[in-house]
Amino acid sequence: MSLIKELTKGFIKENPVFIMALGLCPALAVSNSIENAIGMGGAATFVLLCSNILISLLKNFIPPKIRIPCYIVVIASFVTIVDMTMNAYLPDLHRNLGIFIPLIVVNCVILGRAEAFASRNSVLKSIFDGIGMGIGFTIALVAVAFFRELLGAGQLMGIQIFPNNYQPILVAILAPGAFLTLGLLMGLINLFKKPETD
């Protein structure tokens, strides 16, 4: 029961992007098309899962004083592995995500979960937490990308949705559109969220 809770809390209730406002840099940068959002979400989820497992395993071995450099080494290693394997086996996706892959290293969702969860909980719980948070991150990216791609290009997943004479709202696909969409979605979620009772 509690494992399922660890998994689902990341979807909406503790969504890393919308609620905790972590990992905003990749959420803004890679949400211009759903395809990129899924690719980035998948890569980040994989790194998050691996780093959560390893850090949870090493939690008694890593002295608290040097935990941050240790976490960064672990995360950076997994990111580099993802980068190289993706380049080898999924070159098309790798070409699209390009510079964003190395940026997963500084994605604070991953360091945040290592610090706040994996270093204090069992491996099993950390696995569920990692998957849940990764899915939550992906949901957020896809949600932002949905509006940006639809309005900015008239497409979804590269398939034309609006008729060809639709004049795309170019700002949606450029950087300002990312800020606007993310801000509006965050506001919308806060509007419907039950106020926290003290």
Partner 1 sequence: MTYYIKLGVILFMIAAIASGVLAFVNNFTKPIIEENQRQMEIEARRTVLPQAKTFEYVEDNLPYYRGYDEEGQLVGYTFMAVGAGYSGDIQTMVGLTADYKIFSISVLIQTETPGLGANCTRPEFTNQFSGKEVDELYIDVDSGDIDNITGATITARALTNSVKKASDIIIEQTKDLSDNTKHDYSKDKETV
CB of 66 to partner 1, least distance (A): 5
Opening angle at CA 32, ends 31 and 36, nearest 5: 65
Q: Which is nearer to partner 1, 19 or 34 (CB)?
A: 34
CB of 145 to partner 1, least distance (A): 10
Q: Give residue 88's identity as a one-letter amino acid code.
A: A
CB of 16 to partner 1, least distance (A): 24
CB of 46 to partner 1, least distance (A): 14
Interacting residue ranges for partner 1, rule: CB under 8 A: 32-33, 36, 58, 61-63, 65-66, 69-70, 73-74, 76-77, 80-81, 84-85, 87-89, 91, 95, 98-99, 149, 152-153, 155, 168, 170, 173-174
| Backbone region of residue 169 per phi and psi (left: phi > 0; alpha: psi in -120 to 50; beta: other values) | beta
